[in-house]
Amino acid sequence: MDRPRTIHQPVSRRRLLTGAAGVAAAGALAGAFSAPSAASAAGDGHGLRIVDRNENGGRLQYYRFATDAIEWDPAVNVLLPDGYHTSGKRYPVLYLLHGGNADFRTFHMQDNIINLTAGREIIVVMPDASTGWYSNAVSSNTGPRNWETFHIHQLLPWIEANFRTFAEYNGRAVAGFSMGGFGALKYAAKYYGDFCSVSSHSGPASLRRDFGLVVHWANVTSAALDLGGGTVYGAPLWDEARVSADNPVQRIGSYRNKRIFLAAGTSPDPVNWFDTVNETQVLAGQREFRGALAQAGIPHEWREVPGGHYFRHELFVQDLAGMLGRLRRAA
């Protein structure tokens, strides 16, 4: 869960930045800016049409798409492993999902993901999600907001068509922070055959506890920041089937035979209502989820550490090592 802020401004198709300005805005900072050969350039497909890009000789690649799933043109950063351009290898993929009111640049601009993954043989895909809770909204007053469709049915096959990956269960992991941690748990259960490893860093794992506080929060934040007053799950009455389908604690059997990593803070800032409400709910929900996993005999890793609602680099490094131990190795 995340506090409403104003840093994320969706890019409309009429206001799309192109050329050097678009490249700078995308923050594609790594590597030389040499143009790729035609053979290596990514192409359209799977409902996605590339409208802006920065493909270069470095690790970080940027793409922006036109898609019928989303009214404005969402983007993605694809972080390649060292040596990708010359190795000829195929690599496992991590889909790394940002929190609310952030965007596809968050992990490399704020969390130093380029250095955190240096020397690791894995492709990291970091897509836009606005504050859409990794869902197809029940209602929207701002045009299509089908984030689940964009991520699972368009972006995932597009990545596999354009990069050297393992297009299989053991070739994909999904992880995220806050809203993105919820998205990771949701996608791993709902699309069981797509991901062998799932990680939630300060992400809620229980939607219905405390009279559905997380569902209310998802509805309120999505209404304010993504849907122009529409909602993810419906209001005042929820779409109960959608909530049940998305709720990790109601999908326990769908986590069998996966690597599971959970992290939460135990001491949010008592003066900061946002930090307290968010991480208190995250911690309680993750404990409920862990209890259900344990009762079902499903192995999982977890960390409870001091602090509040923020992405912990040291835990991500531990998590990444565990992912690579579970995923198919580059070859």
Burial of 20 (0-12, 13-18, 19+ CB in 10 A): exposed
Q: Which helix (H) or strand (E) holds 323?
A: helix 313-326
End-to-end CA distance of the chain: 37
CA atoms of 200 and 218, how far apart (whole Å): 17
Asked if 309 is an active-site residue, the reply is yes
Cis-peptide into 204, omega within 30 deg: no
Q: Which of 209, 189, 216, 213 is nearest to 200 (CA)?
A: 189
Which listed residue (2, 246, 275, 319) is catalytic? 275
Which listed residue (178, 202, 206, 222) is catalytic? 178
Asked if 275 is an active-site residue, the reply is yes
Which listed residue (8, 98, 201, 309) is catalytic? 309
DSSP type of residue 117: T
Task: Tell me the CA distances in angstroms from 179 to 39, 53, 247, one per residue in order.
Answer: 37, 26, 13
Asked if 46 is an active-site residue, the reply is no
Active site residues: 178, 275, 309
